[in-house]
Each structure stands twice: as C-alpha cells, then as structure tokens.
Structure 1
Amino acid sequence: MSLQDFITRGKQVLAIEKQAINQLEQYIDQNFQNACQLMFDCTGRIIVIGMGKSGHIGNKIAATLASTGTPSFFVHPGEASHGDLGMITSQDVVILISNSGETSEVINIIPVLKRIGAKMVSMSGNIDSSLAKLSDVHVCIKVEQEACPLGLAPTASTTATLVMGDAFAVALLEARGFTADDFALSHPGGSLGKRLLLTLKDIMHSGIHIPIVKCDDIIKDALIEMSEKGLGMTAIVNSKNQLQGIFTDGDLRRILEQKIDIHNTKISDVMTTQCTTVNPDMLAAQALNIMENKRINGLLVVNESQQPIGALNMQDLLKAGVF
C-alpha cells in the first residue's frame, strides 16, 4: 500500500463515520426524549451494560454521564451474571447496548433486571431486535455501513453509539442546570478543577511571608524586604497596618532612572497609592484575569479593614496550575 493509498483509505473511513453521525439525527426523536426523561427522573444510578466493543463504548458513556451530573457506572454483562447484578436496584435505570440487539450476554440478564424492577433503556441498530422489544425505551443507533471494508469490525456503529451517549449526557446536563463549578467538583485533580475551585487563600503567601514596610521606612528598607520575600513587590502600611500603597520592581526601575536617593527618601514618597487589591475568597482564575488585564505581576490580598493578609505573583499562579 502506497502512502497515497493510506491517505485515501483514511479519508474514506472519516467520510463513512461522518455519514453515520449525520444519519443519527433522525433518531433524536420521541424515544430519545423518553429515554432522557427516564434518566432525569431516576432516583438511583444509571448503569451502563455492553459486551465487547459496545462495552468499551458503554464504559466511556458511563464516565461521561458521571462527570456531567448524572451518577453512573459501568457493569460488564459477564460479571453481572456472576454477582454484579447485586449493584443494581429498583431505583436505577439500566442502559443496555448491543448493535445487533441480540447479544446473548446482554439478553440473558434482562429477566433478572425486570424482576429487580429497574427501568431499561436500550441502544441498538435493530428496532425489531429482542433487546428493543424487551426494554422500556429503545433508541436506534443504526448505521448504513461500517468503516471496516469487511463489514465486521465495529467502527461506524461504535462511533454512533458514543455520539448518542454524548447526546444523552449533554441533554441531561442542561436539564439539571449543571454548572462549571459542579463539573470542577468531580475533577479536582485536573487543571480545570484548579481553575474553578482554587481560591487565593489556598495559594497566597501569608503571615511573615508577606512583604510589608511602614510608610516612614526608607526605600532601602523596602528593597531589602522585597529581596527577602522574593515577590517583586512590597506593601506599604500605616501605623494601623492598613494598606497605603505598593512598591514593585517596576517602580524601582523608575526611581533609579530618576536618580532618587534610596538611602534618604521615604518609601511613601515613591509608592503607588492606587494599587489593585483582592479578597482571599476570590478564585485564582479571576486573579489571573485581573493580572493579565491590568498587566501587573502581583496582587495584594486584604481583609475588610484594608489590612494586607496575603500576597501573590504570577509565578504562584503558574505553580498552582491555574494557567
């Protein structure tokens, strides 16, 4: 096979699978509506069952449902027949997947599911199959042809199943009013979770690590404080520890150009008084937006009395994985 033959065949596969997805739209019908309603009203869990390639797709569908507000898990039909049916209750809805609708491992557990009292939603490519007839709601996922030239390996059919599963998950997500914050709660370890859940009090420098000098201190003292704390800035406070201004590396470059005497000039004479402050409960992602929009490299965190209780810079956000 030449390089061009590989490219041609690859494009043919994409064309077949795109066609399968386009044809799937006709099955977003009343049966789809009924299936979604059944899952929306479910007071238990959504259990997804499938054999072989359908099982692999079912596992992903269960994971997508679970991460988008619909508690769900996958059960292998073989294991179900050897004890795992004990995971299923009458409050659950079971999604049964079989392209032919006649997969024996799936069909064989239906009588037990009916006895348990669980509702059943089936997905198959045959509306006249045993699976379709025995389930409470059947959603068709029929495709005209597989991308496999032998017509044997599940390809377009598994793609169609996956897409229909995504349609279930997103429709239910919107019906439940599922938010980005809700999503983050189930993804605390990922970068998205960090962006959505991390607050400034989780990452700010606090206590003795906050760079602070008094208004009457000279510039030299401020530079020593900045060097020791390593945040590229220092807060300037009055006798009540209330924030009066900020002095940054940028301010230092400015005064050096002006040849100001750093040994005799008070820091209050050269500080920036209109500095941006934030509260400790602000999301780290919001702080990042503020820094980017204002083109600043650091922020001071203050309490209700305008006293500095924290400080952070862009490097802290980078280390926390907020970017």
Structure 2
Amino acid sequence: MSRAGGTVVPQVELGQAEVAREKRRLVPRRVARLFSNPLAGVFAALVLIFVASCFLSPYFLTPFNMLIVSRALAFVGMVTIAQALLMIMGELDLSLGAIGGLCGVLGGIMMVELGWDPFLAFGLCLLFGVLFGLVNGLLVTVLGLNSLVVTIGMAGVYSGLNLVITRGLAITGIPDSIGFLGKGVYLGVPMPFVITLVLLALLTVVTQKTPFGRYVYALGNSTAAARMLGIPVGRIRVACFMIAGFCASLAGMLMVARLGTAQPSIGEIWVMPSIAGSVIGGVATTGGIGSLLGAIVGAAIIGVIQNIIVLFGVAPYWQSVVSGAIVVLAISFDAVSRRYIKKE
C-alpha cells in the first residue's frame, strides 16, 4: 500500500500505471528504430512514387502495365544485384550489360546454328558469363588495375565480339521450349521476375548470413585491414566478379527467351540503371555499406519513373535524359551525404 494526497493507492495500480508509461515510451523508440533503418527511406520513397503514379495515370495500376513493369525490372534487377554486390566490395563492373548481350548471342548460335539442346546452351552460356567475370576479376586482382577502367575496356571487347559474331544482325528462330523462362507467368507473376526474386533471396542470405558476405563488407570498408585479418582478398574479389558475370549472363539468356531472338543490342541499357538503383537503395559508392534488397528497391523506383514517363507519351530520347539525370543525382547525393557523415 502507498499513500498519495491522503489516500491509500494500492501498489498494483501504481505498477499498472508504470507499465502504461513504459508502453507509451516504447512507441517513439520503435518509430525511431524504424526510421533509423537505411531501407525505411527508400521503401517510403518507392511507396510515395507508386501512389503518385496511380493518380498521374489511370493506366498505371492495370494488370497489363504491372506485368510490363515487373518484367522490365526483372532484367535490370539481376544486373543491379550483381552491381550492388561489387559496389559493396568497393568495385564496379561497367561490362555487365555487354556480358549479358554476348552470352545471349552465343546462346542463340548454339541453339539455332549448331542445333544444340536449348537448355544445354542456356547452361553453357551461364558458365560463359562466369568465365567473363573471372577474366574481369583476374585483371583487377592480379594486375592491380582499377575496376572502372578495366571494365570499360572489357565492355568494348565483349561488345566488339558480339558485333563480329553477328555482324549486327539478330539471330532468329530461338526454340519455343525455353520461351516460358522469358515469357511465362507463374501465379500471375512473370517468370523472369520470379527468378530475380529467387536470385535476390539466395545472394541476400550469402551476403548477410555467411563468412563470405562478411568478407565482402570487410573489403569494402578497408582492403588493407581485411588483409591484416587474414581474409583472402584476391579470391573474394574474383568470386564476386564471377557471381556478377553469372547474373549478367542469366539476364541476357532470359531476354533471349523473352524475345525469341538473340539481338546484339541486349544489355546496352542495363548498366547505368544498375548503378543508380544501387546508390538510391543505399549502397555506398565507396564500398562497405548497403544491401542487395535496398538496391533492388532503388531499381524499382527508377523502373516506376521510367514507366510513368512512357505512359505520358514522352519521346524515348527524353527517357534517356531522365535516366541519366537520375544516375547523376543519385551519385551526387551519395557523395554529399557520405561527406557529411564523415564530417559528423
């Protein structure tokens, strides 16, 4: 029992009041914890842009348009996952689009001109993507070259080989047996998008729950410190480039299955959105910060913006202007915010 103002207040009531006060204190703490999550801001931005797009165009939320948006996001999303992984490690690969295009062309030749089994050709092209990633990784690791410079050059090599092989002409007659991988729908969701989600889930587990993932973040924070800790820096770096090559080749082959032709232009527009999406999603250009999920959400923001531009009937040239502006703004914002955080 306790006396308060001349009256007797049971201890039970005092305890209940204290519990109520504690619950009221927990609410702002939970809200603060939510907004301190790096993904909260980018998710909120995606929701706001999505809702605004619904009001801006009556055609945006139609099932047909949602299929278009999700299918387009799937191909860019695979490359974004690869780019985000490399950026977390502190590297970049500007040849991923060219790798996807070259693997698509090689797959078309195997299936159409050589008559090989479509699924065998599909699998071999995924291995080619891993091989091209291995080449990039070895050039960066063994020779100590800058990944940005190296992959610009290798993008020219892969694109050039693409044109030499095809002479700039599309390879038609892709077998229908693999068409469902690019055109099919599973539970109302395009198959490429389903495959992207599976890829995202697998690599998220790898980066967040395994020693390999911790090593990737360690390299992004400080390569010198990672070496001092005994982390196999070279092998981790090469492995990440190989994973990126796999993701790019998978996107290229799924696009071939989607179109029914192996076009030399496949992958040309994938690289810049992959960088912008990663930065918008919270992946630092300096490495060591960010997540693959955030990168995909960033890519989704770009995809929704591009889709609403198309629905407004804006010329394709202006679409390129907007995409380029998003890249510049995203990287500029990242640089300014990192500088501010460092100063603090």
Q: What is the TM-score when the length of structure 2 is the normalising length?
A: 0.20
Higher RCO (Cα < 8 Å, 6 or more apart): 2
Structure number having the greater helix percentage: 2
Max Rg structure: 1
